[in-house]
Structure 1
Amino acid sequence: MKNIFDKSVTEEVIGRIEKLSPKTQPNWGKMSAAQMLAHCAVTYEMVFTDKHAKPNAFVKFMLKAFVKKAVVGTKPYPKNSRTAPQFIISDEKEFLVEKKRLIDYINKTQELGENYFDGKESLSFGKLTKEEWNIMFYKHLDHHLTQFGA
């Protein structure tokens, strides 16, 4: 798994995002390119904003027990896999706005560095290691950039 905290990997991911256009079509799934960028930004919103409510104790237990391994494990996501409700983007989005927002989040994450994230509390999964944060960030971006051929 590539390390999203490494500046060269961050630049590579941003380069892949730069290859997208509003007209880029997915190889699978229903999202537009703008919706996909907004979808990918949700992971960062959960870290850097208060936009998303913290799950209650039961939901958090269920997420840790049944979802965490799939999200922070190295096994790739399957195509057309189910997503959490807060990640569903059904309204139209402005491509350039979403592209800039996602790139800004990726750069902020890289600049803060892996030590900032080591032991940091995840909204859904509790404390994660820097390796788990890396996998969660990179694997999700890679999955959706591959989805759009980037």
Structure 2
Amino acid sequence: MALPNIFDKSVTDEMIARINKLEADSKPKWGKMTTPQMLAHCNVTYEMVYEDKHPKPNFFMKFIIKTFVKNIVVGEKPYKRNSQTAPAFLITDSRDFTLERKRLIDYLNQTQQLGDSSFANNESHSFGKLSIVEWNNMFYKHLDHHMTQFGV
């Protein structure tokens, strides 16, 4: 079963509508992150695409990540609740809800406007080259998981 296409404007708009239903004090159905922390956590995926602020894994770590983590992240199977996350995605400090929400919406719009062809077989931060379907799954599945976590 294919996941919705985050590169499609209607799917992006639907995800943005879900994000806009969040409140700064929304409570998660599971997990310990606050809403601002969750938004900052979701932004990390896009920071790794659009910004140079996260160090890339060395050859050995990239091999391990591609071997054991890649299929979990880019496959269609939903994430399990309370799954372990990579260190770069751990957000433990307080964050500004409005700023993190705006950043995430801006990243989503940028990604949608670039379109899927901009990602075809591009090198990801940690997983090597990804197909359009793998990029879509990584982007959509992660956001859907956390929107569901927060009941939107």
Offset at 1:52? 0.4
Alignment coverage as a number of residue pairs? 150
Q: How does 1:1-150 map to 2 (within 5 A)?
A: 1-150=3-152
Q: Tell me, which stretches of 5 or more residues in structure 1 are unaligned?
A: none
TM-score normalised by structure 2 residue count: 0.98
Structure 1 letter corresponding to 2:31: G
Offset at 1:146? 0.1
Identity rate, percent: 63
Q: 2: CA distance between counterparts of 1:57 and 1:6?
A: 34
Q: 2: CA distance between counterparts of 1:74 and 1:123?
A: 20
Q: Tell me, which stretches of 5 or more residues in structure 2 are unaligned?
A: none
Q: SS where residue 127 of structure 1 aligns?
A: strand
Structure 1 letter corresponding to 2:125: L
Structure 2 letter corresponding to 1:4: I
Deviations 1:109-143 (A, max 9, x none): 00000000001100100000010000000000000
Q: 1: CA distance between counterparts of 2:100 and 2:38?
A: 9
Q: 2: CA distance between counterparts of 1:30 and 1:141?
A: 17
Offset at 1:34? 0.4
Deviations 1:17-44 (A, max 9, x none): 0000101000000000000000000000
RMSD, aligned α-carbons: 0.3
